[in-house]
Amino acid sequence: MRCPKCLLCLSALLTLLGLKVYIEWVSEPHLTKAYPGARSTPPDPTPASFEPTLPANLSARLGQTGPLPSAYWNQQQWRLGTLPSGDSVEAGGCRAWGTAASSEIPDFTSYPEDLRSFLLSAACRSFPPWLPAGGGGQVASCSATGVPYLLLAVKSEPGRFAQRQAVRETWGHAAPDTRLLFLLGSPVGRGGPHLGSLVAWESHRYNDLLLWDFFDVPFNQTLKDLLLLDWLGHHCPDVTFVLHVQDDAFVHTLALLEHLRGLPPTWARGLYLGEVFTHAKPLRKPGGPFYVPGSFFEGSYPAYASTGGYVIAGRLAPWLLQAAARVAPFPFDDVYTGLCFRALGLVPRAHPGFRTAWPADRPLQACALRDLLLVRPLSPQDSIRLWKHLQNPQLRC
């Protein structure tokens, strides 16, 4: 004969367990859930997730709610009002921030050379355009060419001619209501070949290169984002969406446009869309490309979209510039973008169609793009092959 009290206790325990699972499920942050695919109907957005705000004190928004860590970035962010401007090393000059970093970080001399170079000039964000000799090659404002619905802003490097040409010949000119621009630093290399004459020819030929006079090195990629945002404010303020993407990506442009046009207007206003990482942490192993010393930063990264390719709402450009003036510099462009969005109270939205780390041993077939919006990395040859297959009227999937 069974014990009635035992059965009652077991029933109560099962009920409590089910309640706990339910509470954890409904309280899970919405930014970790999968964003619906291009053919799905999106659920209602979280009411506070699509209008930017910028509070006077950013510390709580940026996750600094507990005891303040001793790491330099955390201390700087706690004290930061607005980043200095100008080139002066005097009080208030942008290089003064780097000088302070070199003197206040106890093990600064042990940092990798690239990281030291970044920190010394990280607050300097005003750079003139790099203009080809003889004039010409200027990128026209949107007022002269029409305002695109989607601006394709492709991060490249001066020597990556083949990648840029592959983009021009494939997805970069594939759809109406889009415009293609490439973002580059100076073609005058540091320790490399001088590519100025070749880049000048390319700029005259295509008029799609936004060039600035800074060294085009990995830790300067954030400059391309910030200078593009500034360019948008002066030359293309009414663009609806901006795709930030690497030059080794392949974009299913028509599918992406279809998806963006199907978004609820409230979502579109604060959009930050891509392949989202929600629980990333700094890598502490010296020698790796993403190494972050513990004396520089403590804590976890904000949710951010992979730098391989993500879309933002064009109206957010001035907001992001305001946020960037109040968020301490960080060496990785995608993490920094995530910090700026978090400062604005906005969250990234994940879409499974963004695949920014396609396996090298898995050939990409045209039919696989039916449910994808963006994939990388691909060689120029693979991009052209894939594009030709997609244009084949006899393609059957």
Q: What pLDDT is attached to residue 66?
A: 80
Name the band, by pLDDT with cuts 50, 70 and 90, for residue 25: very low
Q: What is the DSSP letter of 260?
A: H
Q: pLDDT higher for 170 or 42?
A: 170
d(CA 251, CA 171): 6
* pLDDT: which is higher, 84 or 352: 352
pLDDT, mean over the chain: 85
Average pLDDT for residues 353-359, to the nearest whole number?
A: 95
DSSP state, residue 37: -
pLDDT for position 87? 63
Q: Report the pLDDT value the prediction gives residue 34, as an integer from 0 to 100.
A: 29
**If you ran DSSP here, which 8-state letter would residue 254 be given?**
H
pLDDT on residue 321: 97
Determine the Cα–Cα distance for residues 30 and 50; give it in Å rounded to an integer: 13
- Residue 111, token pair as written in the block: 């940092």
- Residue 65 — very low, low, confident or very high, per pLDDT cuts 50/70/90? confident
85 has pLDDT over 80: no
Task: Report the predicted TM-score, pTM, of the whole model to 2 decimal places.
Answer: 0.85
Domain with CATH 3.90.550.50 in the chain: 142-391
% residues pLDDT > 70 (the chain): 84
Q: Rounded to a whole number, what is the distance in angstroms from the first to the last CA of the chain?
A: 63
Residue 195 pLDDT exceeds 60: yes
pLDDT, position 160: 97
Decide which of 202 and 3 is more confident: 202
Q: For residues 369 and 382, which has the higher predicted lDDT (pLDDT)? A: 382
pLDDT range class, residue 55, cuts 50, 70, 90: very high
- Residue 91 clears pLDDT 70, i.e. is over it: no
Question: What's residue 362's pLDDT?
Answer: 86
Instruction: Find the mean pLDDT for residues 72-77.
Output: 94
pLDDT band for 199, please (50, 70, 90 cuts).
very high
Q: Mean pLDDT across the stretch 132-151?
A: 83
CB 335 within 8 A of CB 305: no
For position 22, what pLDDT does the model report?
33
- Determine contact, residues 199/211, Cβ cutoff 8 Å: yes
Instruction: Choose the most confident range, by mean pLDDT, from 39-43, 202-206, 272-276, 284-288.
Output: 272-276
pLDDT for 258: 96
User: Quick one: pLDDT at residue 143?
Assistant: 78
Q: Per residue in 265-293, pLDDT tens?
A: 999 999 999 999 999 999 999 998 899 99
The CA distance from 377 to 358, in Å, is 6
The arithmetic mean of pLDDT across residues 206-226, rounded, is 95
pLDDT score, position 81: 86
Angle at 180 between CA 367 and CA 357, to 5 degrees: 45
Packing angle between helix 221-235 and helix 317-324, nearest 10 degrees?
A: 130
Strand-pairing partners, residue 243, are: 152, 311
Confidence check: pLDDT of 33 > 70:
no
3-state secondary structure (DSSP) of residue 4: helix
Percentage of residues of the chain with pLDDT beyond 90: 67
Task: Give the strand order in the sheet containing 250-251.
Answer: 250-251, 374-375, 354-355
pLDDT over 70 (residue 156): yes
Given a cut of 80, whether residue 32 has pLDDT beyond it is no
**Digit-coded pLDDT (tens) for 220-262:** 999 999 999 999 999 999 999 999 999 999 999 999 999 999 9
* Amino acid (one-letter) located at 349: R
CATH 3.90.550.50 fits 142-391, yes or no: yes
